[in-house]
Amino acid sequence: MRQIEVKTEAHQELHDITPQVQAAVEASGIAEGVCYLFCPHTTAGLTLNENWDPSVRHDLGLVFDNLVPHRPDFRHREGNSPAHAKTSLVGSSLTLFVSGGRLVLGSWQGVFLAEFDGPRRRRVLVKVMAG
């Protein structure tokens, strides 16, 4: 198992980690198999989306804020209930195929760490298995 460390720079951001995940796949030496990703945080998750046009990331941030606005009746004392809810929406894990030693992604797809309570230092665990 490998670990990717990400230093996020904004309260909410989609941070493209595709190159680091691909590097972990290459370091594994596995040509055909599956890549499992897990984000062990309750206010950050993982998602696949377009990584060609950065405006998509901006627009998704607007969608998340619209879906989960801050509410005065939230009870969590840390004040980051929206971050917990947004993380539940995107999820904490991804499973990707590996073929020819490369991640199998769509033409414009990238792997993103979805930060909802930054800036922080985050970890993503990567396990590549043959199969």
pLDDT at 125: 98
**pTM greater than 0.85:** yes
Mean pLDDT of 43-53: 97
Q: Strand pairing of 93-99 and 2-7?
A: unpaired
- The CATH number linked to 17 is 2.60.120.460
Please give the tally of structural domains in the chain: 1
Could you give the strand order of the β-sheet that contains 109-115, starting from the edge strand earlier in sequence?
13-16, 109-115, 44-50
Tell me what the mean pLDDT of segment 23-50 comes to.
Answer: 98
- Domain with 89, as residue range(s), is 2-130
